[in-house]
Amino acid sequence: MQVGQIEKQSAMVSSEKLEFNFIQNKNLEKANIIEERKQKENKDVYTSSIDEKKEPSGLYRVVNDANGNKKIEYDKIEKTDKADKQAKTEKEKLYYVNTDKVDREIEKLKKQEKDIAQQLAQLLSSGADSYEVEKLKEKMERIENELSMKDTESYRKANAEHHL
């Protein structure tokens, strides 16, 4: 009985090996087919330009000099009237930046700062209420903070008016 069981087991193992090899071969075939398809899709195709005589692009061409050596000859670019007119109109267009509005805003803040400083000096010299002094100091700080933000080149550029 043991011999019969061993033969059955060896037959099962060999059939499993055959099945495994069969599956492995199938997977290899599929992988080969996929790889072949990828290679066909990714191949570049060379087209010879020797047979076809192409005209030069219009900027330059290769010519032979008196000694038979190759040299590059540049073509003259002829501008049409339309291109000349277009170039002139582009040159005539002026682009400028106007920062007057921003400058006025900064000047207004500086004037407010100066006025508050004068008011504060008057209140302090007259011995006024501490509440009014604190209120003016807060207002002065707010204006100084706003001035420090706005009185910069980056603020002027960001808020300037751009014109053609």
Contact (CB, 8 A) for 60 and 75: yes
Percent of the chain with pLDDT over 70: 60
Return the higher-pLDDT residue of 4 and 70: 70
Output the six-digit token pair for 12: 């099962």
Cα dihedral sign for 113, 117, 120, 126? negative
Long-range CB contacts (within 8 A, 24+) of 51-59:
none
What's the pLDDT tens digit per position in 94-125?
677 888 999 999 999 999 999 999 998 888 88
Question: Residue 18 pLDDT more than 70?
Answer: no
Contact (CB, 8 A) for 136 and 119: yes
Amino acid 14 reads S
What's the pLDDT tens digit per position in 117-142?
999 888 888 877 888 889 989 999 99
Cα dihedral sign for 53, 55, 57, 63? positive
Look-up of token digits 């000096």: 121
Contact (CB, 8 A) for 144 and 113: yes
Contact (CB, 8 A) for 109 and 150: yes
Q: Report the alpha-carbon distance of residue 48 to residue 46 in Å, rounded.
A: 6
Question: Residue 12 pLDDT more than 80?
Answer: no
pLDDT score at 15: 64
Amino acid 4 reads G
What's the pLDDT tens digit per position in 40-93?
666 666 666 655 555 655 677 788 888 888 888 877 666 556 666 666 666 666
Which of 161, 150, 157, 156 has its CA nearest to residue 98? 161
